[in-house]
Amino acid sequence: MSDKRLYRSSVNYMLAGVCGGIAEYFNIDPTLIRLAWIVLTCMSCGTGIVAYIIAAIVIPK
């Protein structure tokens, strides 16, 4: 069983490392996660910003 954990990235970060950490967890390009997050934020009237802030607080570094 893999001991894979979700952490904020200290290498692939722009603001808090949330998107980079998610990308490392799923082993995909961080740019795709960032683009998806931007699209979801625009489509949901800013809810993505609140979700990002919560993720930055909840996900350990």
Task: Show pLDDT as tens, one digit a residue, over the chain (61 residues).
Answer: 567 899 999 998 899 999 999 999 999 999 999 999 999 889 888 888 899 999 999 999 8
CB atoms within 10 A of CB 15: 12
- What pLDDT, on a 0 to 100 scale, did the predictor assign at position 48? 85
- What pLDDT, on a 0 to 100 scale, did the predictor assign at position 1? 58
Is the pTM here over 0.95, yes or no?
Answer: no
* Helix-, strand-, coil-residue percentages of the chain, each rounded to 5: 55, 0, 45
